[in-house]
Amino acid sequence: MVVLLRHKPMKMEQLEIMKCRAGVGSAELNELDNLKLGWEGEGEMDAMIDCRVRGRNCVHFKDYRFAVNQAGGDGKIVRSSSEVQIDNVLIAGDRIFTFEVKKYNFDLIYGDEVWTYTNGEKFKNLMQQVSRQNDAFRHLLKKSGAGMDVYSCLVLINPAQTIYSLPYGKNILVHSAVGKFLDRIVRDNHYSYDRLAGFLESRRLAKSMYDAPVNVGVDELRGGVFCEVCYMELERVHRNQYRCSSCERDYDLLSVTPRLIAELKILNEGWKLSSYLISKYSGNLVSHSYIRTQKRLGNIDY
């Protein structure tokens, strides 16, 4: 069994950090809420697949992202490149399945051309994204030499959501149907897909082309130390220990410091880090001499 992990989207991490260190507007807060909802849905789908492939000869890629070339009008000259992101790729029973997971907190009405909200306003056609993913992924598979078809599904994971006028046989799974579908398709592969898995991993983008640094200077950020789970400001219990009153998690000084460095790199990889900058970012709760000492000892790096 091959199962690869999912990482939190950089944009979501940036917005979480900015929310407590710089403040964000209503549009950014709405984007953060949507990213969190999507992240929750993807995690729920991961768990449903993982429990079924555990102990089986299957391959499961999470958050699979790869580059695609966009040709000019004659189809020969490459003009630009973009990327395709697929929430889940599953190779099971000698077949390939892809899943695009959506978690919305509102109801929708299905339409062949455009989906709508229940008040009649236009939403979008969610199956267009699935179709583009399928086309791009099949093209990628051809480059690997694998002659396998791809069965692509849209998954609407929120059990509280209702999709009205949803027709049968459209590769669209609501929450109540996901488990039954997975129970039907998850079977041991009879052949080895190590070579294909290796090819796909070699084409995976480690970082999204659309990830970008935040548009603020480091001096504009509020200093302090915050919980890496809920982003509440930590309380100093004593000299070397902090506590999150919300999560009731404890952090020592050596666990806080790498997190400060990680946050700065998430916000902007181009910032030149120093013990003084990291200390200032901590609100001077972590001294620059401590940071230099831990770096010399090899406990942190920046």
* Structural tokens at position 242: 């902090």
192 touches 146 (CB < 8 A):
no
What are phi and psi for residue 41, nearest 5 degrees? -65, -40
Span 230-267, pLDDT tens digits: 999 999 998 889 999 999 999 999 999 999 999 999 99
DSSP label at 166?
P
The residue with tokens 């849209």 is 154
Residue range 127-168, pLDDT digits in tens: 999 999 999 999 999 999 888 889 999 999 999 999 999 998
Query: What does the pLDDT look like over 35-69, one tens digit per residue?
Result: 999 999 999 999 999 999 999 999 999 999 999 97
Q: Report the distance separating Cα 84 and Cα 67, nearest Å.
A: 6
The per-residue b/e assignment along 87-111, b for 16 or more CB within 10 angstroms, e otherwise, is bbbbbbbeebbbbbbbbbeeebbbe
Count Cβ atoms within 10 A of the Cβ of residue 190 and give its class: 0-12 exposed, 13-18 middle, 19 or more buried. Answer: exposed
* Confidence class for position 1, pLDDT limits 50, 70, 90: low
For the question of whether the overall pTM of this predicted structure is more than 0.85, the answer is yes
By the 8 A CB rule, do 271 and 218 touch?
yes
